[in-house]
Every structure is written in structure tokens, then in C-alpha cells.
Amino acid sequence: MQHVVVFAEQRQGQTRKVTFELVSEARKLADRLGGKACAVVLGAGGAELAAQLEGYPLDVIYVTEDRDVDAFVLDPIVDYVEAAVRLAGPSLILIPNTLSGRDVAGRLSARLRAGIVADVVEVRVEDDGAVVCVSPKLGGALTTQCALLPAEHGIVTIRPSAFAVTPSAGNAQVVALAKPAKSYAAAIERDVEEGAGELALEEAPVVVAGGRGLGGPEPFEALLKPLARVLGGAVGASRAAADAGWVPYNLQIGQTGKTVTPKLYVAVGISGAIQHKVGMRASGTIVAINKDAAAPIGEFSDLLVIGDAFRIVPELTKLIETAKG
């Protein structure tokens, strides 16, 4: 592990914020390891995506615009990232800990015979060259320090919003990746975006999340969206709300949904089950609105207001709006 290679995840031709966080961190790690900082940019509009990384101090950007990347499930991505890593040489590979990032990481681990540390919030290179990763485990009940043992390659999946974005002038060499001589089986027939154009949940500085207490889909639109808007944030949900079909699954926060670490988390009508808690407990400030004074969410909220969300939320939205002028 000498160089650092970032899988630059994108969504509909837009580089995701987590990618900027990873390339910012990659520079620091590469300097500690004495190697190059690289990124792999894949899919339609690849050249443009590479240009979006211009303001970051990378040494090499590997690119392909191969349409297969968007036409087949995962296989082309894994092939291209593997190809880039083989071109770069022995590498520490940084991958966003998102649904697709997790898949890519697992597959690369088998291919490259590389160790993998998941859901990491801090990476350290020790003086002896060991790479040590800090990650919350067992639903955040413990913070672990896990080392990648010395090997050719190592893989780390990184929690979105764990690292700061620090742009600085870059002068990267852009290298086109050759098309692998392979054919793929798992074809994507339809790719549907839900809630497109809205602020991605993992990247939002404020999250206003709703649960079963909201009773249906309408309050998400009528109550939570306006509050999220005045706070400059995004709307999220508990599993109960997603399971009921009130919001799309990609808004679910928790163990089996997204992990978020906004500056402010507002939980509305959410009881605070352990599986929900693990997805939001690292938020800066937590405010809960719940009818039930004994709801578990009170145990880890900075402020619990006991009362009816249907009455409180509209008033709160008005207060903030007025204060903003």
C-alpha cells in the first residue's frame, strides 16, 4: 500500500460530495505513504466528471466513458477500478460506504486478495507505515481501531460526511482506461431515480426525519418538507415510514438504511429504536418531537419536546422563517 486510489462515485453525471471528501483525504494519506493520489472516474460524461475534480490535488485521474458502466449491474465498475489499481500499483483503495460502494468494495477485496475495513470515519498512517482505521461498530456501541495488515492492497469504505472537503489547485494527469475484453450478464433494463434533484440525505447539513407518528405520506410533504427547506436540509424517515410506503426507501435512516451525520437532526414522531439510532446517533445536535415522554429517543436527544408534531412543526417553521426575514 503506497498509492491511494479513490473510487469517485457519481450520480447522474454529478460527482457526489463524498467523492470530494475522499479525494481531499487521499492527498494527505498519499503524502504520508509517499505515493500518488489517484481517482477513478467512470461512466457517461466521464471527462466532465474528471474536470469536476480539477480543483483537487490529485496526481492521476483514470477515466472511461464506457456506456457499459451504466448498462450492467456493477461488473464493469469493478473491472475498471481493478484496472486502475493495477496501473497505479500497490494501493490503499478508498470507497464511499454507500450501497453501491459496499458492493464494489466486497468484490474488489476478493479479486485483489485485499483486507477491508468498513464504515470508517478516520484513517491514520502510523510511523511504521501501518494503516489504522477508526470505525464505529456494533451499532456505534464501540469505536474500534482496526489495522490493515501489511499487504499489496488494502480497502477502506468511508462513511459520507466523515471528512472535510479541502480543495486546492491540482494538476492531475488524465489517463484513459482500456475497455476490458469481457461481456456482462446482469443487464439494467430500467433505472429509476426517486426524489431526484433533492439534496442527498447523507450530504445534508440538516436532516428532518419523520416516523410512524406522522400517520401517512401527506405530513412528509406538508410538515417536514417546509421545515427542512427553512433549515436548509433534507427529509429522512424511519423504517416504519418507508415500509408503509409513505416515502421511498432511499430516505430510510438506520442500520439497514443510510447513516447520516448532519449538524442538526430533527426526529419527528420517531420512537428511537436501536436500528434507527445507529444511523443517526453521531449527528451534531439531536432534537426530537414526540407525544410520548418515555420514547427511547429521549435517551439520546439533546432536546426532547413532548407534544403533538402536527401542532408544533408548522409553528416552528413559521418562527424560523420570520427570524430569517
Partner 1 sequence: MKIVVTVKLVPDPSAEKKIDPQTKRLVRTGVETVLNPYDEYALEAGLTLKERAGAQGRVTVFSMAPESLKETLRKALAMGADDAVLLADPALEGSDVWATAYAVAAALRKLDFDLLIVGGLTDDSSTGAVPGALAEHLGLPCITNARKIDAVDGALEVERETDAGYQTVRTPLPALLTTALTFGEPRYASLKGIMGAKKKTIATTALADLALELPVGAAGSKTQLRSFAPPAPRGKGRAVEAADGAAGARTIFEFLREKKLV
Ligand X SMILES: Cc1cc2nc3c(=O)[nH]c(=O)nc-3n(C[C@H](O)[C@H](O)[C@H](O)COP(=O)(O)OP(=O)(O)OC[C@H]3O[C@@H](n4cnc5c(N)ncnc54)[C@H](O)[C@@H]3O)c2cc1C
From the list 87, 174, 199, 273, which residue makes contact with ligand X (rule: CB under 6 A)?
Answer: 273
Return the residue matching grid coordinates 469481457. 182
> Is residue 302 at the binding interface for ligand X, with CB under 6 A as the rule?
no
Cβ–Cβ under 8 Å, residues 313 and 227: yes
> Is residue 286 at the binding interface for partner 1, with CB under 8 A as the rule?
yes
The residues pairing with 2 across neighbouring beta strands, listed in sequence order, are: none
Q: Between residues 91 and 290, which has the closer beta carbon with respect to ligand X?
A: 290
From the list 99, 176, 178, 222, which residue makes contact with partner 1 (rule: CB under 8 A)?
Answer: 99
> Is residue 239 at the binding interface for ligand X, with CB under 6 A as the rule?
yes
Query: Rounded to whole angstroms, what are the CA distances from 194 to 158, 199, 249, 261, 289?
Result: 24, 12, 9, 22, 27
> Is residue 291 at the binding interface for ligand X, with CB under 6 A as the rule?
yes
Binding residues among 108-127 for partner 1 as defined by CB under 8 A:
109-111, 113-119
Window 208-237: contact mask with ligand X (x via CB under 6 A):
---xxx------------------------
Give dist(CA 266, CA 270) in Å, integer.
Answer: 10
When CB distances are held under 5 to 8 angstroms depending on the partner's kind, the choice from partner 1, ligand X, none that residue 175 binds is none
Give dist(CA 231, CA 247) in Å, integer.
Answer: 20
From the list 151, 176, 178, 222, which residue makes contact with partner 1 (rule: CB under 8 A)?
Answer: 151
Only one of the segments 43-51, 145-153, 221-229, 269-277 lies at the binding site for ligand X (rule: CB under 6 A); that segment is 269-277
**Measured between alpha carbons, how far apart are the two ends of the chain, in Å?**
53
Minimum CB distance to ligand X, residue 137 (Å): 16
> Is residue 254 at the binding interface for ligand X, with CB under 6 A as the rule?
yes
Cβ–Cβ under 8 Å, residues 76 and 100: no
> Is residue 102 at the binding interface for partner 1, with CB under 8 A as the rule?
yes
> Is residue 256 at the binding interface for ligand X, with CB under 6 A as the rule?
yes
Binding residues among 165-224 for partner 1 as defined by CB under 8 A:
185-196, 200, 206
> Is residue 239 at the binding interface for partner 1, with CB under 8 A as the rule?
yes
When CB distances are held under 5 to 8 angstroms depending on the partner's kind, the choice from ligand X, partner 1, none that residue 293 binds is partner 1
User: HSE-up of 107 (CA within 13 Å, CB side)?
Assistant: 15
The helix/strand/coil state of 256 is coil
From the list 67, 86, 182, 311, which residue makes contact with partner 1 (rule: CB under 8 A)?
Answer: 311
Per the structure block, which three cell numbers stand in for 184? 456482462
> Is residue 71 at the binding interface for partner 1, with CB under 8 A as the rule?
no
> Is residue 140 at the binding interface for ligand X, with CB under 6 A as the rule?
no
Among residues 150, 180, 162, 222, which one has the least CA distance to residue 83? 180
Per the structure block, which three cell numbers stand in for 2? 503506497
DSSP symbol at 258: B
Own/partner contacts of 312-319, CB < 8 Å, gap of 24 or more, are: 313/223, 313/224, 313/227, 313/268, 313/289, 314/223, 314/226, 316/227, 317/223, 317/226, 317/227, 317/230
- Kindly determine how many residues on this chain lie close enough to bind partner 1 according to the rule CB under 8 A: 98
From the list 144, 167, 216, 221, which residue makes contact with partner 1 (rule: CB under 8 A)?
Answer: 144
Residues near ligand X (CB under 6 A): 211-213, 238-241, 252-257, 269-271, 273, 275-276, 279, 289-292, 295, 308-310
